[in-house]
């Protein structure tokens, strides 16, 4: 019994963390020139996985308390009839809180930025750390409630969609931090763009909950497809920027 539990925990941890680290390696290796220190990237990864998660939860809890709304889990592909407040949490409160929490870590490490591209990579490290913890939570619930098959479905979906969404959105925030350091630009526009990306993604992923019966299945599939397309183009854009010599 104990060995089975340990095996499950190991599988859950690997499923949550390994994809994020693979994506981080890709962000770091893309482009030419000197690469960012793995030590610094892992520090940011851990910040995203632990500190940013705690900060985001506190901000979300405070926001929900202020509007007197019950707490709902975000990003439920199979939820039914979400309330107005659950949509507010998913589409507005969570993106603002989570991108802000992740941005703080990149700002704190801005003195370590050596060039513009490092902003993308620092942001990706922070976002992917956050995604690893979030995926661990959702995949654990999936295994507990739906067994191995539901865990596998959720793990596969989130390993591409959610992990890359967090990585790419915060990567853009990191680029804003680099622009602030090297060119004196404001970070806010990049932060707001990341929030818009994040909120749009969450809305698309939640489409199924707005409908009943067969319409819900169709809307879920359509929303999932669009969210994948959003992530694809975000990564494509970041890849083009990482390959520039700057």
Residue 226: exposed, middle, or buried by beta-carbon count in 10 A (0-12, 13-18, 19+)? middle
Are 178 and 118 in contact by the 8 Å Cβ rule? The answer is: yes
Condensed to tens digits (0 to 9), the pLDDT of residues 49-70 reads 999 999 999 999 888 777 754 4
CA 41 to chain CA mean position, Å:
16
Q: Are 135 and 192 in contact (CB under 8 A)?
A: no
Q: Which domain holds residue 139?
A: 39-67+82-242
- 19 inside domain: no
Asked if residue 46 is part of any domain, the answer here is yes
Report the pLDDT averaged over residues 3-28: 90
Is there a domain that residue 45 lies in? yes
User: pLDDT digits over 151-177, tens only?
Assistant: 999 999 899 889 999 999 999 999 999
Is 166 a member of any domain? yes
pLDDT, average across residues 23-33:
91
The pLDDT assigned to 71 comes to 46
Long-range contacts, 139-146 (Cβ 8 Å, 24+): 139/12, 139/15, 139/16, 140/12, 141/73, 143/8, 143/12
**Mean pLDDT rounded to a whole number for the chain:** 87
CA distance 108 to 106: 5
d(CA 111, CA 107): 8
160 within a domain of the structure (yes/no): yes
Query: How many residues does this entry show for the chain?
Result: 246
Whether 124 and 171 have beta carbons less than 8 Å apart is answered as: yes
pLDDT in tens, 99-142: 999 999 999 999 999 889 999 999 999 999 999 999 999 999 99
Name which of 30, 201, 187, 23 is nearest 106 in CA terms.
Answer: 187
2 in a structural domain: no
Residue reference for tokens 């806010």? 188
Q: Is residue 18 part of a domain?
A: no
CA distance 226 to 200: 10
Using CA atoms, how far apart are residues 235 and 229, in angstroms rounded to an integer? 10
Of 54, 58, 23, the closest CA to residue 231 belongs to 23
User: Does 243 have pLDDT greater than 90?
Assistant: no
Question: Is residue 213 domain-resident?
Answer: yes
Q: How many domains does the chain have?
A: 1
In the predicted structure, residue 5 carries a pLDDT above the cut 90: no
More confident of the two residues 198 and 5? 198
User: pTM for this structure?
Assistant: 0.89
The residue-averaged pLDDT of 181-201 equals 96
Confidence of residue 184 (pLDDT cuts 50, 70, 90): very high
- Is 35's pLDDT higher than 70? yes
Query: DSSP label at 37?
Result: P
């Amino acid at each position: 019994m104990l060995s089975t539990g340990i095996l499950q925990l190991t599988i859950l941890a690997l499923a949550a963390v390994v994809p994020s680290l693979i994506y981080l390696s890709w962000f770091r290796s893309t482009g030419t020139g000197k690469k960012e220190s793995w030590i610094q990237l892992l520090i940011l990864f851990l910040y995203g996985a632990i500190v940013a998660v705690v900060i985001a939860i506190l901000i979300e809890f405070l926001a929900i308390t202020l509007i007197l709304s019950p707490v709902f889990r975000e990003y439920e592909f199979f939820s039914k009839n979400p309330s107005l407040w659950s949509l507010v949490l998913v589409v507005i409160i969570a993106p603002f809180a989570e991108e802000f929490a992740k941005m703080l870590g990149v700002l704190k490490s801005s003195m370590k930025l050596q060039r513009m591209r490092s902003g993308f990579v620092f942001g990706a490290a922070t976002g992917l750390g956050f995604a690893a913890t979030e995926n661990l939570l959702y995949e654990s619930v999936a295994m507990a409630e739906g067994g191995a098959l539901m865990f596998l479905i959720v793990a596969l979906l989130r390993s591409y969609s959610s992990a890359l969404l967090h990585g790419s959105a915060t990567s853009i925030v990191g680029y804003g931090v680099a622009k602030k350091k090297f060119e004196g630009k404001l970070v806010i526009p990049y932060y707001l763009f990341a929030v818009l990306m994040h909120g749009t993604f969450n809305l698309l992923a939640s489409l199924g909950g707005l409908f009943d019966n067969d319409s819900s299945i169709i809307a879920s599939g359509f929303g999932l497809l669009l969210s994948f397309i959003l992530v694809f183009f975000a990564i494509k854009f970041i890849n083009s920027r990482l390959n520039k010599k700057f």
